[in-house]
Chain A
């Protein structure tokens, strides 16, 4: 428990310090200076209006992807599974691509069409995969789920490219930019909108920690110890798709977070999901805030998409995991 509190303190510190760093230098003392009204306090405006929403967006995307990664890895009994493996990310991309290419213009509760479409895409993709795996056999064996996920991911990606091929130059540029994964949000609106499904997902995740320990040992062995495996799998898949959906809707497909974060967390707290889940939520947030800090500052004043940073870190990390296991 202490170690989870440690992760909490680290995350809080990162979230407070990250907005202080950037192309314009600001100082904490001036931000908190009560003698200057907010309208005249440039430091406070930069902190609260320009940078904090982006930091909060990073916490939601990072937490959402890390939690989904933890859950998929336990459910599929595969430490290299991630939200991408089951076609969730591919579904989100297809949704966004459709919205961008066909210039769909509507909004719901202040959320514009691209995040809505990508959210629907991710949840829809997982629904298809789960239905297919369920139709194949009694129960949902992890291998069937995994293979159905890979097949659907490939199919959805192909449809996405097909649509993109017919898009005009501007739309293609927008799609490509979205695909890189960026946290450049405008204000708190999108952050709050993404926080709602993530919060619902967390209600589901809260019921899972011990169940995931048992399911990671095999679904039959979990059932023999008293786990209602079908119910647990449904809660896990719905929650994981909601959290992936909200993360991808807000930040685009930020790659590898769902693999890197759970592994680092397990190295520190061990395999017990009662520690891994909360620690991954916290560390996922801190990790993406730090990655975004690099993305904002490394080529300042140019800001590069955070997805490029995570992918550059993720590729070698993935290989390191692979070879560490062999040796």
Chain B
């Protein structure tokens, strides 16, 4: 679905590479977590995967096509992005925001038709935000906003969703809601997701596979139960953690114990 091969990237005017020979393979229908400390290159990798920046070396393929060969519009039909936070400069309504997801499917001067409206309504229904349709986006709570932005990404009707710390600014209740929503969308629609996060327990509950990034290199990748280990957590974050399976939650849980001794 999404393949990065030997990707190297350094920001304009710097010699320090942010990504160094990163190869990642995302299978169709999976939810893959992207973990790593601040500055490890998570967001940069997502931006490169979304075609917002071009790597200096290496290739990225979406559905077998190198993204360099796709127009912005074609790429947007194949993958959608959910940013950490969304701000509006003007007073758009929730429906306005969701309809913007239809942009890559419309011609240059084409207005949204009945089909687009029904796709937008489906997306609102799928995210439980149908009741907010006429509300002004700026007046919503953080959790409502994030669900609306996910609805807008769904309206884009792509099979691949890239989410950059989608729950970072949400309280525990909303974090739980968004996690359930993503799981349901994955199950019902088969949407492939790549989720970058700092929340190890969220990653453990949501993701079938993990990619661990440290200083721009892949430290480990594979099924969550194999990769989310005390050894890897220590090497990523420098903390000792207790990792064990939670019988009620039915997934691994991570409890930080203390700073690791060097």
Contacts and interface: CB of A to CB of B under 8 A. Distances in A.
Indicate, yes or no, whether A interacts with B.
yes
Interface of A: 73-74, 77-79, 137-138, 207, 210, 213-214, 216-218, 220-221, 223-228, 266, 270-272, 274
A78 B90 CA distance: 9
Q: Interface SS of chain B: helix, strand, loop or mixed?
A: loop
Interface stretch (B29-37, B96-104, B119-127, B198-206): B96-104
A216 B72 contact: no
26 contacts: A74-B89, A78-B89, A79-B89, A137-B12, A213-B92, A216-B89, A217-B87, A217-B88, A217-B89, A217-B100, A218-B87, A220-B52, A221-B81, A221-B83, A224-B50, A224-B76, A224-B83, A225-B76, A225-B80, A225-B100, A226-B72, A226-B75, A226-B103, A226-B104, A266-B90, A272-B96
B120 to A, nearest CB: 13
B109 to A, nearest CB: 8
Nearest to B136: A271
Contacts of A227: 72, 103
Given A137-B12, A214-B103, A224 B90 contact: no
Given A138-B12, A224-B80, A225-B76, A218 B103 contact: no
B108 interface: yes
B92 A271 contact: yes
B47 interface: yes
B67 to A, nearest CB: 12
Contacts of B83: 218, 220-221, 224
Contact of B86 (A137, A217, A226, A228): A217
A210 B77 CA distance: 17
B168 interface: no
Given A207-B108, A210-B103, A270 B72 contact: no
Q: Chain B, interface size: which category?
A: 20 to 34
Q: Which of B86, B90, B96 has the most CB of A within 10 A?
A: B90
Contacts of B156: 225
A216 B80 contact: no
A274 B50 CA distance: 27
B54 to A, nearest CB: 10
A259 to B, nearest CB: 14
A266 B111 CA distance: 19
Contact of B89 (A77, A225, A274): A77
Nearest to A207: B108
B73 interface: yes
B88 A216 contact: yes
B38 to A, nearest CB: 19
Contacts of B101: 225
Nearest to A225: B103
A220 B86 CA distance: 11
Given A79-B90, A221-B83, A223-B52, A213 B100 contact: yes
Interface in B56-90: 71-77, 80-81, 83, 86-90
Contact of A225 (B11, B91, B104): B104
Interface of B: 11-12, 47, 50-53, 71-77, 80-81, 83, 86-92, 96-97, 100-101, 103-104, 106, 108, 111, 156
B18 to A, nearest CB: 13
Nearest to A79: B89
Contact of B91 (A73, A138, A271): A271
Contacts of A224: 50, 52, 76, 80-81, 83
A43 B16 CA distance: 76
A73 B92 CA distance: 15
A300 B89 CA distance: 42
Nearest to A267: B91
Nearest to A77: B89
A271 B90 contact: yes
Contact of B73 (A78, A213, A226, A274): A226
Contacts of A74: 89-90
A220 B53 CA distance: 10
Contacts of A270: 91
A270 B92 CA distance: 8
Nearest to B164: A220
Contacts of A216: 88-90
A138 B89 contact: no
Nearest to A223: B52
Given A79-B89, A272-B92, A274-B111, 14 more contacts: A73-B89, A74-B90, A213-B96, A216-B89, A217-B87, A220-B81, A221-B81, A224-B52, A224-B81, A225-B104, A226-B72, A226-B76, A226-B103, A226-B104
A227 B108 CA distance: 11
B63 to A, nearest CB: 16
A77 B52 CA distance: 19
A125 B56 CA distance: 33
A225 B73 CA distance: 7
Contacts of A221: 81, 83, 86
A226 B77 contact: yes
A73 to B, nearest CB: 7
Q: Which of B12, B74, B97, B103 has the most CB of A within 10 A?
A: B103
A202 to B, nearest CB: 14
